[in-house]
Structure 1
Amino acid sequence: MRDGKVVDARPARDFTRTSLVGAMGSVAKEEDAAKAGDFISKRTGAAPRVTARPPAQADAMELSAHRGEVVGLAGLEGHGQTAMLLQIYSAKPLAGIRMAGRGGRGASVDAPVALVAGDRQNDGIFPLWSIARNIGIRSIRAMRMGPLIDSRREDEMAEAWRARIKIRTPDIHDNILSLSGGNQQKALFARALGSDAEIVLMDDPMRGVDVGTKQEVYGIIRDEAAKGRTFVWYTTELDELKNCDHVYVFRNGRIVADLPRDQLTEEKVLQSSFTEDA
């Protein structure tokens, strides 16, 4: 099914992964975003945009994320990945103030930060608001006209991101709950990517989202990273790590491995997640 309609029906044995993804609306290209030969490290002599170390772990391995990098957080669920994202978010510059290396609580960032929540119902959407207002809330300072919000600017931003990220709705003024789950998640991405944030934190945002939506968002993440945005991405799906330049594996609240993309394998991630000596 796609958009409330049955778009294909056949015996399960007649589907392949490619045909199933294609039927769901994905580009369905069998391309590997993690080809070792295509990997070029972005870690030059420039200082990282983000540094963080797990709380109360002075001797622990440190996370760093540089300009234009997509950094993945892996390991068994509940081993400190979300806590690390919140730790980084708490170190964000104050509204309207750019402070190089502002830090606290074991983390430091040098640019504005946005967070894409994985639990959209509890931590992401504003259920009484329209789609446009949900998208624009992170950019409210840029849409002010005196003490009020300029509704024209809010609508222009929402329409631009509706087109770019392909949010399926007849009207951006409809309530956010009128959207499917995948399109609600797209609205949260539009909120973050349409803002001034140069560092985007993602807390397993693709869980439960359809394959077609995932492929569309992966492409946008790669495009934005190529323009210089930095992403720190916690995911519980091993396949999503192939979109990352570096992957930090967590175990028992500690970072236990840093795997650049050309060294990333499922075996290494699993070994680091379960054993003391990865």
Structure 2
Amino acid sequence: MSAVEVNRARALEGVAHGFLGRRGGVSTGLVAGLNVGTGSQDDPAAIAENRRRAADAILPGARLVTLYQVHSPDAVTVLEPFEERLRPRADALVTDRPGLLLGILTADCAPVLFADREAGVVGAAHAGWKGAIGGVTDSTIAAMEALGARRERIAAAIGPCIARASYEVDDGFFRRFAEHDPANERFFADGGRAGHHQFDLEAYVAHRLAAAGLRTVEMLGLDTYADESRFYSFRRATHRGEPDYGRQVSIIGLGA
């Protein structure tokens, strides 16, 4: 049995966390590996076992909570575990309660983990392009502040996501960001085809975190699309015409 691969950030050292990929799970077929996505066509028993392994790799004995992610800017505060069927529709969650693991599922979107060690407050956000431009990271920071965190103390790390070289977008996508802020043009490079561009989601999310007042922001620089052996990718599966794709999980929590 292969071990669960855990990618950690120096910025979050001392806090139980990890950006996981597809290695170390029991799923087979198109979603082979550590698939944790209940929205996939995978065997529910395999997904449950993968989630158990993921949680144990970060903080054994802790309870993993995740969301029904909808590409929104919304953050929720978690004070106690909730059942999977009662997951809130939101894209970020924060807590100050030990023994809870906050989990974000991704398959190209950017997972962002946050921690204010001094206040004992952590957060996790799902930042696809819609959530990122909509302010999901700002909402996460505000929710952490409501629990006693201070943004100048919050450290954040951006985990595996689709990289600029793999993320071709059209003119309409480019204009949406340019109209939001003309300075956003710097996150786009010329694409290989007329009317297309390469978007740097990771750099854009890092910019939003810094603009919000965070002093410590780390980018792991891991491309989900290009590294098939380590990560699931919605866009890669789409380009291949595959009928299903897996999701990886990024987790952070407070020890007892």
Please indicate the TM-score interval, normalised by the length of the shorter structure.
under 0.3
Based on CA coordinates, which of the two structures has the bigger radius of gyration? 1
Which structure features the higher share of strand residues? 2
Which structure features the higher share of helix residues? 1
